[in-house]
Amino acid sequence: MEIFDVMGEHNHEQIVFGFDKDVGLRAIIAIHNTALGPALGGTRMWPYRSTEDALTDALRLSRGMTYKAAACGLSLGGGKGVIIGDPERDKSEVLFRDYGRLVDGLHGRFITGEDVGVGVSDIEWMRAETKYVVGISEALGGGGDPSPVTARGVVFAMKACALEVFQRQSLHGLKVMIQGLGQVGMHLAEFLHQEQAELLVADLNERRVLLAVDKFNATPVGVDEVYGADADIFAPCALGAIVNDETIPKFRVKIICGAANNQLADEKRHGLALKDFEILYAPDYVANAGGLINVANELEGYSRDRAFQQVRAIYDTVRELIEVSKSEDIPTNIASNRVAERRIDQIAKLRRTFVTEPSASYQEGRVFH
């Protein structure tokens, strides 16, 4: 693998390798872009089959974080860490503290938190070595569980879509099919019930379905029947790749908007297919950005009220990308990528202008402190 060619493919800024033979640390931090601010992204622990697989994952995920932060108007860049190892077997305090030192050595260019295989207690070990971590427990002044904020963000994304499709300011009376009643899905059901939406729900776990039926007057739907359900909105909150060649012709909904990551099996083809079928798609990384907004909030001293306020921005972001999608006749997922790229380009240009052409106030001799 020719590392600089790989970095050049999507313009990654920096890759950091961390190794400690005694501790067993093998970690990679990929920083994709810091034009808007420090790179923020979780750290994943996974038994990758090869270093190349781990690097590929870090590069792909860090780039995704750049787009997510940029599209949602956050002053953050994109990065991601991966630790090669089995989270069931290889975790230890010394490993995570060692990794924390690696993160600390980047002096805030990279800020990290939880991801697959890395939990709150691991973050607390890292935190003993670096302040550049987020996603810490409420007891230690962090944001705690992000899922209610994520669910609130999905509601704002849904409202923006409902305004476009049904010319409605509220979700009152609309039928929403929720796939997955986990951490996010159950909170989503609660908020939608408060909005007086009608709920259809499905989960592999029958207890959770019964809970939603009981608490939110939801109608249960079999896990295999969700795609053809008679509803207005489909809210995927369980699995990725649920928008694919098989499911698209089954959908009877007019909107797809949920928290699950990587909803489109094929970004290009299935984004276009949804547009052709006149189904409005709220791009997953925008609809579920509440999780990122929640941890970013910790950087300013966490406040749940402020986090709930900040996720309102998702409404405006979705409205903006719907407008771009219509005016440029492109699918919404491509529109959100463009919104993100344009913002990064503008800010990067501003920085270049400042460096190469001193501003008027600089020429007048005023100095900033």
> Coil, strand, or helix at residue 73?
coil
Q: Which residue shows structure tokens 């019930």?
A: 193
Six-digit token pair at 274? 């949804």
259 is a contact residue toward ligand NAD (CB under 6 A): yes
Contacts with ligand NAD: how many residues (CB under 6 A)? 24
Binding flags for ligand NAD, 137-176, as an x/- string (CB under 6 A): ---------xx--x--------------------------
Site stretch for ligand NAD (CB under 6 A), options 41-49, 106-114, 166-174, 201-209: 201-209
The verdict on whether 80 is a catalytic residue reads: yes
Tell me how far apart the alpha carbons of residues 248 and 4 are, in angstroms, rounded to a whole number.
Answer: 39
203 is a contact residue toward ligand NAD (CB under 6 A): yes
Binding flags for ligand NAD, 42-71, as an x/- string (CB under 6 A): ------------------------------
Q: Write the DSSP symbol of residue 108.
A: T
Six-digit token pair at 177? 């099919």
179 is a contact residue toward ligand NAD (CB under 6 A): yes
> Coil, strand, or helix at residue 11?
coil
182 is a contact residue toward ligand NAD (CB under 6 A): yes
Burial of 302 (0-12, 13-18, 19+ CB in 10 A): buried
93 Cβ contact partners less than 8 Å away, ≥ 6 residues apart: 125
Tell me how far apart the alpha carbons of residues 105 and 125 are, in angstroms, rounded to a whole number.
Answer: 16
Question: E strands of the chain, at which residues?
Answer: 14-20, 25-33, 39-40, 43-46, 77-84, 110-111, 175-179, 198-202, 219-220, 233-236, 255-256, 280-281
Provide the minimum distance between the beta carbon of 109 and ligand NAD in the complex, in angstroms, as a whole number. Answer: 24
Residues of span 219-258 touching ligand NAD by CB under 6 A: 223, 237-239
Residues of span 74-113 touching ligand NAD by CB under 6 A: none
180 is a contact residue toward ligand NAD (CB under 6 A): yes
Question: Under a CB-based contact definition with an 8 Å cutoff, are residues 288 and 259 in contact?
Answer: yes
Provide the minimum distance between the beta carbon of 114 and ligand NAD in the complex, in angstroms, as a whole number. Answer: 10
Q: Which of 148, 185, 159 is nearest to 304 (CA)?
A: 148
Residue among 205, 303, 309, 359 that touches ligand NAD (CB under 6 A): 205
Of the two residues 179 and 332, which places its CB atom closer to ligand NAD in the complex?
179
Annotated catalytic residue, options 80, 91, 159, 275 = 80
> Coil, strand, or helix at residue 141?
coil
Provide the minimum distance between the beta carbon of 200 and ligand NAD in the complex, in angstroms, as a whole number. Answer: 12
Residues of span 290-329 touching ligand NAD by CB under 6 A: 291
Residues assigned a catalytic role: 80
Q: Interface residues with ligand NAD (CB under 6 A)?
A: 146-147, 150, 179-185, 202-205, 208, 223, 237-239, 259-261, 288, 291
